Amino acid sequence: MRAIEVSEIGGPEVLRAAEVPDPVIGPGQLLVETEAIGVNFIDTYIRTGRYPVARPYIPGSEGSGVVAAVAPDVTEFAVGDRVAWAAAPGSYAQKVAVPAAVAIPVPSGVESSVAASALLQGMTAHYLIESIYRPESGETVLVHAGAGGVGLILTQLLAARGVRVVTTVSTGDKEKLSREAGASEVLRYEDDIPARVRELTDGAGAAAAYDGVGAATFEASLASLRVRGMLALFGGASGPVPPFDLQRLSGGGSLFVTRPTLVHYTRDRAELLWRAGDIMNAIADGTLQIRVGATYPLSQAEQAHRDLEGRKTTGSIVLLP
Ligand SMILES: NC(=O)c1ccc[n+]([C@@H]2O[C@H](COP(=O)([O-])OP(=O)(O)OC[C@H]3O[C@@H](n4cnc5c(N)ncnc54)[C@H](OP(=O)(O)O)[C@@H]3O)[C@@H](O)[C@H]2O)c1
């Protein structure tokens, strides 16, 4: 089969198309022929060595496709089922060994590219606003990278709940997308973000900041919070946040900071099905739009990473095998 293989740490150029043996499934696994593959920021962290893995490896963890074979002990899925997943290593490939424990049925009517790029970002948005801080209608929150994959989903889910969403973006086109998703105020990174958030909240500050940008925005996120506000630092698209003096949380208003990751919010099958089901159902009934901002042939994974890291993409991005 064709896949992307990575043999060394480096820039996007280390993502090389290769012919490799088909995966061999073991107990509890499905062999899936991929229809579309989700590209996520974490794929760039792994490629650059920020999250070390053994090499050579096939990148990617997310996708959708049709089940071609099942291990004898699998009862939940059968050949021909359409499934999606967010946690199967080796997903930048025409065939993937997907543990049945992480496979999610795709509702009919949900298109492959959408299914392939909705779960990782969608379940992240879900745990951020259901399990880390659940804003009430009328509360104000800050969402960075408002036109990104997670940003557009977070904004729609929050706005639908009556939450006032203030976002940051880098360009006019991204501002337009963020407003269409439901943002009430769209700021630029160079704005005085804490001052603007305080103006909008009669001096109180935001109930929560959902920050996947990291190094460039962490200080502004912290300074934008109200007393007992929550900073969910869920990524570092601009780089990791440097060490931090916990004492500052007291002076800032008895603040909370957490650095969550999806795996700890999908701890068992029930939790995974709850989050994935809410996201798939919201897509199927039209209350959540997944913007697939760009698609690339699998062989052009290099270009997909360049665009993602170069801030050229909006919404999710997908590779087609
Ligand atoms: N912890 C978790 O469980 C979890 C799960 C999924 C994703 N994440 C994190 O969530 C964040 C968003 O992921 P995503 O896949 O949806 O990506 P994305 O938001 O579509 O892309 C990243 C965006 O970050 C913004 N950005 C700001 N400064 C940047 C810089 N110096 N370099 C590159 N981008 C910069 C850009 O938007 P502007 O041009 O508008 O600034 C860019 O489009 C990432 O940090 C990712 O690691 C975390």
Per-residue tokens: 32: 């899936």
- Residue 274 vs residues 62, 64, 195, 287: alpha-carbon distances, Å: 18, 18, 38, 17
Ligand 1 atom having least distance to the Cα of 315: 20
- Residue 281 · residue 107 · CB < 8 Å: yes
- Residue 145 · residue 313 · CB < 8 Å: no
CA 318 to mean position of chain CA atoms: 13
* Strand ranges of the sheet holding 206-211, from the earlier edge strand across to the other edge: 185-188, 164-169, 140-143, 206-211, 225-233, 256-258
Q: What is the DSSP letter of 265?
A: G
Cβ neighbourhood burial of 79 (10 Å; 0-12, 13-18, 19+): exposed
- CB atoms inside a 10 Å sphere around CB 29: 23
Identify which of 210, 267, 311 to mutate to test ligand 1's pocket (most ligand atoms within 8 A of the CB): 311
Cβ neighbourhood burial of 111 (10 Å; 0-12, 13-18, 19+): middle
What is residue 35's predicted lDDT score, i.e. its pLDDT?
98
- Residue 209 · residue 154 · CB < 8 Å: no
Closest C-alpha to ligand 1, atom 21: 148
Ligand 1: centre distance to CA 144 (Å): 8
Q: What is the pTM of this model?
A: 0.98
pLDDT of the chain, 321 residues: tens digit per residue: 999 999 999 999 999 999 999 999 999 999 999 999 999 999 999 999 999 999 999 999 999 999 999 999 999 999 999 999 999 999 999 999 999 999 999 999 999 999 999 999 999 999 999 999 999 999 999 999 999 999 999 999 999 999 999 999 999 999 999 999 999 999 999 999 999 999 999 999 999 999 999 999 999 999 999 999 999 999 999 999 999 999 999 999 999 999 999 999 999 999 999 999 999 999 999 999 999 999 999 999 999 999 999 999 999 999 999
Closest C-alpha to ligand 1, atom 18: 148
Q: What is the DSSP letter of 102?
A: G
Tell me which H or E stretch contains 316. Answer: strand 316-320
- Residue 100 · residue 28 · CB < 8 Å: yes
Alpha-carbon torsion, ordered 172, 174, 175, 178, to 10 deg = 170
What is residue 20's predicted lDDT score, i.e. its pLDDT?
98
Nearest 5°: CA angle at 271, between 123 and 60?
45
Residues with CB under 6 Å of ligand 1 are 40-42, 120-121, 124, 145, 147-151, 169-170, 174, 212-213, 216, 234-238, 260-262, 308-309, 311, 313
Work out the mean pLDDT of the chain and round it to a whole number.
Answer: 98
Task: Note the pLDDT tens digit of each residue in 122-166.
Answer: 999 999 999 999 999 999 999 999 999 999 999 999 999 999 999
Q: What is the spatial distance between Cα 205 and Cα 196, in angstroms, rounded to a whole number?
A: 9
Nearest 5°: CA angle at 35, between 32 and 38?
95
- Residue 206 · residue 184 · CB < 8 Å: no
- CB atoms inside a 10 Å sphere around CB 202: 7
Ligand 1 atom having least distance to the Cα of 169: 40
Q: What number of residues does the chain have?
A: 321
